[in-house]
Amino acid sequence: GVVGRAGIAAYHGTKHGVIGLTRSVALEYAERGIRINAVCPGTIDTPMVSDMLDRGMLKMADLLRDLPMKRLGTGDEIAGAVLWLCSSGSAFVTGHALLVDGGFTAQ
């Protein structure tokens, strides 16, 4: 939701929409003490990504070239970010799109 790519505008458009919705709803519920945030994962080692690699739709070398950490993320790493957002450690965080992408968007 924070980048775009040619050829998949509808896909990226929906992600951008989720971030806008997150920010708007966060403002609507902030005074009630309800925090609303979004998690924006990078390329994660999932069955879908594995299938796309197997079918030749993606190439691991291309993925890793664009990832500063030179590896795919894991589901556990996304879960850790979600757990932090659910914890008291993020008590003053709302309306935020948390990037968990191994530095992809930092480039």
Whole-angstrom distance, CA of residue 101 vs CA of residue 92: 22
- In angstroms, the first-to-last Cα distance of the chain is 16
pLDDT of amino acid 1: 86
Whole-angstrom distance, CA of residue 101 vs CA of residue 53: 19
Whole-angstrom distance, CA of residue 87 vs CA of residue 103: 23
pLDDT of amino acid 83: 98
**pTM of the entire structure?**
0.89
Q: Which of 11, 18, 86, 103 is catalytic?
A: 11
Residue 15 contacts residue 101 (beta carbons within 8 Å)? no
Residues composing the chain: 107
Query: For this structure, is 11 an active site residue?
Result: yes
- Residue by residue, pLDDT tens for the chain (107 residues) are 888 889 989 999 999 999 999 999 999 999 999 999 999 999 999 999 999 999 999 999 999 999 999 999 999 999 999 999 999 999 999 999 999 999 999 98
